[in-house]
């Protein structure tokens, strides 16, 4: 059925495809299904979160007409908010570490956002944003929020971040899977909101589903009791710090899986070369984690992963440097 026209790009956010990765699992017992969240105007799952945040704030009266919106971002949330704010008539100021890929800043500027880039810590590596780097971004975001008397979207604590997963992404997965049962869900943790929200929705439908959070092996805050450096290349998460949504919803979490930079990179390239899915680092991390599970004690299971964003956001990084 052909859909009717939409009055703006806000109408095309959500209802993303779900694809079985048959080529990648042809010699493995089990199946992997990828929810293509980059099928969205800003090329990431954060478009959904941005729209939900702004509409929730409007309905509660905490975002006033003409007010400025400020948010800390690695780029995806900022792009989503840039789109939503532009189309709804709000000024948006994105605050981002200089360690994130430049493509993200350019996208936000294209949507008329103001982008403030914050220096990294002296010992940080460009392209590897640590929790300490994020702390510097948070300080600047707080300063700008006061300066503009702005609405702070606050993705790490705003419940809208989690609600999108529980009320929209999760139910879409359930509908798309039809009679096929979901055995396992894995998701790379940024704020942890989507991971927890989708896990809640899936556990209502499938009480025995196992839900695993994915972390970089060098930022294994929840996976290991031993300290880790926090330095890695998987942009958009793995900040090696406590996550509000994860801490408050341990009951829906069945465990955590770590992946290395190289595993995430190799898996992202496999998505492109085998399935023609051009996705980013975190998608690679999710696929790598799913493959580990199928090759281990979860042989023969059905696993759902998210592909959070597009590979076009990483053309200047090591992910596609040798293509």
* Residue carrying the six token digits 């990828």: 34
* Count of positions (residues) in the chain: 323
Distance, in Å, from the CA atom of 176 to the CA atom of 18, rounded to the nearest integer, reads: 7
Distance, in Å, from the CA atom of 26 to the CA atom of 189, rounded to the nearest integer, reads: 28
Q: In a 10 Å sphere around its CB, with 0-12 CB exposed, 13-18 middle and 19+ buried, how is residue 74 labelled?
A: buried
Distance, in Å, from the CA atom of 188 to the CA atom of 224, rounded to the nearest integer, reads: 16
Q: In a 10 Å sphere around its CB, with 0-12 CB exposed, 13-18 middle and 19+ buried, how is residue 5 labelled?
A: exposed
Q: Is residue 310 flagged as an active site residue? A: no
Q: Is residue 295 flagged as an active site residue? A: no
Distance, in Å, from the CA atom of 103 to the CA atom of 142, rounded to the nearest integer, reads: 24
Q: In a 10 Å sphere around its CB, with 0-12 CB exposed, 13-18 middle and 19+ buried, how is residue 35 labelled?
A: buried
Is the distance from CB of 46 to CB of 237 less than 8 angstroms? no
- Catalytic choice (31, 124, 282, 283): 282
Could you give the C-alpha distances from 179 to 16, 18, 26, 175, in angstroms and in order? Answer: 19, 14, 21, 9
Q: Which helix (H) or strand (E) holds 18?
A: strand 18-20
- Catalytic choice (35, 40, 44, 46): 46
Q: What share of the chain is helix, strand, coil (3-state, %, to 5)?
A: 40, 15, 40
Could you give the C-alpha distances from 164 to 56, 106, 135, 153, 317, in angstroms and in order? Answer: 11, 26, 25, 14, 29
So which residues are the catalytic ones?
A: 46, 282
């Amino acid at each position: 059925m052909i859909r009717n026209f939409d009055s703006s790009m806000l109408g095309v956010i959500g209802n993303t495809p779900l694809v079985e990765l048959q080529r990648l699992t042809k010699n493995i017992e089990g199946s992997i299904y990828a929810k293509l969240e980059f099928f969205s105007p800003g090329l990431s799952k954060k478009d959904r979160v941005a729209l939900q945040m702004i509409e929730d704030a409007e309905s509660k009266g905490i975002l006033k007409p003409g007010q400025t919106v400020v948010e800390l971002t690695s780029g995806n949330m900022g792009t989503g908010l840039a789109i939503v704010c532009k189309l709804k008539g709000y000024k948006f100021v994105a605050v981002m570490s200089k360690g994130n890929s430049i493509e993200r800043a350019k996208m936000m500027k294209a949507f008329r956002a103001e982008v403030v880039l914050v220096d990294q810590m002296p010992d940080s590596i460009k392209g590897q944003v640590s929790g300490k780097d994020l702390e510097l971004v948070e300080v600047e975001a707080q300063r700008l929020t006061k300066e503009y008397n702005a609405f702070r979207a606050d993705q790490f604590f705003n419940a809208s971040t989690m609600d999108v997963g529980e009320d929209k992404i999760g139910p879409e997965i359930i509908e798309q899977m039809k009679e096929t049962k979901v055995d396992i869900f894995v998701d790379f943790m940024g704020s942890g909101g989507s991971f927890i929200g989708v896990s809640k929705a899936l556990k209502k439908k499938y009480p025995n589903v196992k839900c695993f959070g994915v972390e970089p092996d060098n930022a294994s805050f929840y996976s290991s009791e031993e300290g880790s450096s926090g330095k890695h290349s998987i942009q958009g998460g793995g900040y090696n710090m406590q996550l509000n949504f994860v801490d408050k919803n341990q009951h829906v979490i069945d465990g955590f899986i770590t992946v290395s930079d190289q595993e995430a990179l190799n898996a992202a390239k496999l998505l492109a070369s085998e399935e023609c899915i051009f996705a980013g680092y975190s998608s690679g991390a999710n696929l790598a984690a799913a493959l580990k599970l199928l090759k281990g004690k979860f042989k023969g299971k059905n696993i759902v992963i998210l592909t959070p964003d597009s590979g076009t956001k990483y053309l200047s990084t090591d992910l596609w440097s040798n293509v």
